[in-house]
Structure 1
Amino acid sequence: MFLKYCGIKEKKDLFKCYNLKIKNIGFVFYEKSFRFFNIKKIESFKSIFFGVFVNSNINYIFYLIKKINIKIIQLHGNNNILFYNTIKKKLIVLFFSKNFYYNFLNIIIINSFFFKYLLIENINLKYGGVGLKNKKIFYNLINSYLFLSGGINFKNIKQFIEKKPYCLDISSGIEKKKKKKYYLMKKIKKILI
């Protein structure tokens, strides 16, 4: 299991991650999110960058892959099969939130064909990470190819560690008033040591 901090948008927060030896860092390329990352703020860094996209143009995704050395793509939204087929060589993480219950079996089938991992966060129709406080419905689904995200913080993280997902993907759990806080980053990292 590894730890990912997502929604990093300031250079100072990136260095907070480096200081804690967090190598898996997510940038959100969705302009409507308060976590939107402006590419002008960064140059090239040696880390495992996750690019988070919502219904993005495929050319824009490939442009950013080259520009800032994105290693892993995380898709949210309503992309179709043709889109996945075009991008599958670079795609590692798939995310679905809309109509989760209805589409779950289809998601598993599509995921097994196109992708290596599946990220489960919530069933809310809102994009950008809203946090699911009660994840009991997912407990029997979590295994070695699942990323778990949404509402995870230092108070509840132990219950998710026990389920042994492949990755814990944390964003709101390291924020206060929509700002990344080093003491929260440190608290979570300490629990995982």
Structure 2
Amino acid sequence: MKLKFCGLTRIEDIEAANETRPDYIGFVFADSRRHVSDLDAARLKEHLDPEIKAVGVFVNDEPEHIAALVRDEVIDLIQLHGDENEHYIKKLRRLTNAPIIYAVRVETHRDIEEADRLPVDYLLLDTYVKHAYGGSGKTFDWSLIGETSHPYFLAGGLNEENITRAAQTGAYALDLSSGIETDDTKDTDKMRRVAALVKGAHQ
């Protein structure tokens, strides 16, 4: 079971990640309260333990911009969280070899089935909220997941209370953002407890 802490914005967040050892951290380049600039992400990445992979989160961004961030070693994986289609993904594939995570806002199992046909490496299953691309802090009905041909990250409202149950869903990785925050700021103690729970669920 892999673990991702998303929406890191400060050097303190990076230090907490280096201590708590998630497999992935996320930098949000899309419009969000957790947005980081290219320059800030590059500075933060310099302090990140090289064994922890950095994921760039994008919503309908220019493929050339994304590829440049991979080339400059600011990010290791790409997470698409907008309306990117197969044509877009194929263009991105021509520009970079970085693994691609495709976010699905799950309303029905059909949403997952359609995304499962895309030429990506992972899916990320998140909660459908009208007019929002993610970050809602709400869970969805995990019984909708069913079989997928791609390994998937499970996101949407994960926290200390439900993380152990989430670990039983068959997800490749669990992805937390608001669930490791207090007053909209990353909370090192919550990160520690979540990391321990995920590790404990797979002893």
So what's the TM-score if we normalise by structure 1? Answer: 0.87
Match of 1:183 in 2: 189
Tell me which amino acid in the other structure corresponds to 2:100.
I
SS for the counterpart of 1:51 is strand
User: Which stretch shows the higher mean deviation, 120-129 or 133-142?
Assistant: 133-142
Q: Distance in 1 between matches of 2:69 and 2:158?
A: 28
Give the 3 Å change call, closer, same or farther, for CA 171–183 of structure 1 in structure 2: same
Structure 1 residue 152 corresponds to structure 2 residue 158: yes
Q: 1 CA distance for matches of 2:10 and 2:113?
A: 38
Alignment length, in residue pairs? 189
Alignment of 1:33 onto 2:38? no
- More displaced, 157-166 or 137-146? 137-146
**Against the structure 1 CA distance between its residues 189 and 49, is the aligned structure 2 distance closer, same or farther, given a 3 Å change threshold?**
same
* Partner SS, residue 74 of structure 1: strand
Q: Deviations over 1:26-75 (max 9, x none)?
A: 11001x20010123331534231101001101111112112344111000
5+ unaligned residues in a row in structure 1: which ranges?
none
Question: Is the aligned partner of 1:53 residue 2:58?
Answer: yes
Aligned-pair identity in percent equals 28
In the alignment, structure 1 residue 162 sits paired with structure 2 residue 161? no
Structure 2 unmatched runs, 5+: none
Are the aligned partners of 1:100 and 1:123 in contact in 2 as well (CA < 8 Å)?
A: no
- Which of the numbers 124, 138, 148 marks the counterpart of 2:144? 138
1:102–1:162 distance in 2 versus 1, CA, 3 Å: closer
| TM, length-normalised to structure 2 | 0.83
Between 1:114-123 and 1:139-148, the stretch displaced more is 139-148
